[in-house]
Amino acid sequence: MIIVSIETSCDETAVSIISTGGDFPHATYDIVGDALWSQIDVHKEYGGVFPALAKREHAATIVPMLEKAVTETGFETETYQLDESVRTQVTSLLEREPGLANQLIEFCETHGVPEIDLIAVTSGPGLEPALWVGVNFAKALALITDTKVVAVNHMEGHILASIFDAERDDQLSDINFPAISLLISGGHTELVLMKDWSNYQKIGQTRDDAVGEAYDKVARLIGIPYPGGPEVAKLAEEARSKNFPEYAELPSPMLHSDDFDFSFSGLKTAVRYAVADKELSHYDKAGLCRDFEDAVTRVLVKKTIKAITDHGAKTLIVGGGVSANHHIKRVMETQVFATDEDVTVYFPQPGLSTDNSIMIALAGHARLDSAMIPTSTDVIRADGNRSLS
Ligand code: KG4
Ligand code: ZN
């Protein structure tokens, strides 16, 4: 089947076209078209993602992304001559995004789209104004092409992206249950127990900041623009390889608490005090980033291993933007192996850790049975706080 997937939950506008063969979870996924536009430059001056701006950018770039993905497939397209009632419905669905309805209608009437079997769209969690652009766009495209829509949980997308194996025939890895999933991104830090496919139980989460958010805030404190996570990681690696001295003794909050929850705001505050009113040299900054990353890694690894041990897990799946971090990956793999060498650890392949629409197609395929033709009273809605369990 051909899946068109759409991601607009935060600051990436992404559209993919995936050709699947077989049933979830043993299907093959051939990525025939993939387009992603990052809005990072737009948000930089605000030091974080500005929701109203994100919404506007999604609306401005989603048709160009669809066009890029469709063109990349090289597939024959079908053009649509819309009757008045479909035109009216599409216009009313997209009335809050000026110009988008006309852009989409024109694209479908002139360029056209290949035959589609399913549209998968992120419905949450994320920034609600941004999510609505994707959800309404998906519904409009579904009306035009007479296709079913499936509302995807973004976090399920991150989990499946981490076990997507392009080297193994573009399939999902054949994982053993129970599995523990550690999701670390700009908006989330959570531990999830999976007893089977599509069966999620959140067992722990952050009580305040997400890990990625803490990285970005530390970056800001030392003058690195949003999103500073990758740059903080780079400086930390430099301090590690050149053995820079410790800059500050930082806490690993909730390291010894008897649950699976996290907290990173105290660590962020400790960093703020450590740099207050000081002129920092490059060595200071790199040392501080390393000290911060070590504190974060300690608590992530300890809680994850506790979750694996307590639940007898056979698999660990780490996903979300921060899973691109080499140090966290290295320490996690080594320490999980030292604890139980029979546990298999998965991190996403490069390019699939941060937000993308390939992961949304995977999660949409997993939820095929909840797909529906959108109607005016349907339940496909954006939900900024959508939870996995
Ligand atoms: O999953 P994602 O793309 O978006 C959300 O759903 O939040 O994650 C983005 C987050 C940002 O906070 C970014 O700074 C962080 O992931 N990040 C990293 C690294 N690469 C991205 N943090 C630490 N080390 C990295 N290498
Ligand atoms: Zn994400």
Distances (CA, A) of 325 to 107, 293, 360: 39, 10, 22
In the structure, what pLDDT confidence band is assigned to residue 43 with cuts at 50, 70 and 90?
A: confident
> Which ligand has an atom closest to residue 324 CA?
1
> Which ligand has an atom closest to residue 154 CA?
2
Which residue has a Cα nearest atom 3 of ligand 1? 354
Whether 186 is in the pocket of ligand 1, judged by its Cβ within 6 Å, is yes
DSSP string for 3-53? EEEEE-SSSEEEEEEEEEESSTTS-EEEEEEEEEEE-HHHHGGGTS--HHH
Ligand 1 nearest-atom number relative to CA 228: 14
Determine the distance from the C-alpha atom of residue 315 to the mean position of all C-alpha atoms in its chain, rounded to a whole number.
20
The mean pLDDT of 289-318, rounded to a whole number, is 98
The mean pLDDT of 143-161, rounded to a whole number, is 97
The mean pLDDT of 149-162, rounded to a whole number, is 98
Whether 113 is in the pocket of ligand 1, judged by its Cβ within 6 Å, is no
Q: Which tops the pLDDT comparison, 378 or 13? A: 13
Q: How far apart are CA 368 and CA 23, in angstroms?
A: 10
Q: How far apart are CA 252 and CA 333, in angstroms?
A: 20
Ligand 1 nearest-atom number relative to CA 233: 24
Ligand 1 nearest-atom number relative to CA 234: 26
The mean pLDDT of 261-278, rounded to a whole number, is 95
Q: How far apart are CA 380 and CA 127, in angstroms?
A: 16
Domains of the chain are 2-159+353-379 (3.30.420.40), 176-346 (3.30.420.40)
51 CA from centroid of ligand 1 (Å): 17
- Residue type for 20, please? T
166 CA from centroid of ligand 2 (Å): 20
Pocket test for ligand 1, best of 159, 221, 322 (most atoms within 8 A of CB): 322
In the structure, what pLDDT confidence band is assigned to residue 376 with cuts at 50, 70 and 90?
A: low
The mean pLDDT of 36-65, rounded to a whole number, is 91
Percent of the chain with pLDDT over 70: 99
185 CA from centroid of ligand 2 (Å): 6
Ligand 1 nearest-atom number relative to CA 355: 3
Listed range (80-89, 157-166, 367-376) with the worst mean pLDDT? 367-376
Inform me whether the pLDDT recorded for 389 exceeds 90.
no
88 CA from centroid of ligand 1 (Å): 40
Helical (H) or strand (E) element with 358: helix 358-366
Which residue has a Cα nearest atom 8 of ligand 1? 321
Q: How far apart are CA 352 and CA 10, in angstroms?
A: 15
Burial status of residue 169 (CB atoms within 10 A of its CB: 0-12, 13-18, 19 or more) = exposed
pLDDT of residue 287: 98
Which residue has a Cα nearest atom 1 of ligand 1? 321
**Mean pLDDT, all residues of the chain:** 96
The mean pLDDT of 245-266, rounded to a whole number, is 96
Pocket test for ligand 1, best of 215, 218, 222, 386 (most atoms within 8 A of CB): 215
In the structure, what pLDDT confidence band is assigned to residue 205 with cuts at 50, 70 and 90?
A: very high
The mean pLDDT of 68-81, rounded to a whole number, is 97
Q: How far apart are CA 244 and CA 239, in angstroms?
A: 5
pLDDT tens track for 28-41? 999 999 999 999 88
177 CA from centroid of ligand 1 (Å): 27
Q: How many helices (H) and strands (E) does the chain have?
A: 12, 12
- Residue type for 279, please? E
Inform me whether the pLDDT recorded for 168 exceeds 80.
no
In the structure, what pLDDT confidence band is assigned to residue 237 with cuts at 50, 70 and 90?
A: very high
Listed range (44-58, 61-75, 292-306, 320-334) with the worst mean pLDDT? 44-58
pLDDT of residue 299: 98
| Predicted TM-score (pTM) of this structure | 0.96
The mean pLDDT of 256-267, rounded to a whole number, is 96
234 CA from centroid of ligand 1 (Å): 13
Inform me whether the pLDDT recorded for 215 exceeds 80.
yes
Question: What is the Cα gyration radius of the chain?
Answer: 22
Whether 48 is in the pocket of ligand 1, judged by its Cβ within 6 Å, is no
pLDDT of residue 49: 85
Q: Who surrounds ion ligand 2 at CB < 5 A?
A: 185, 355
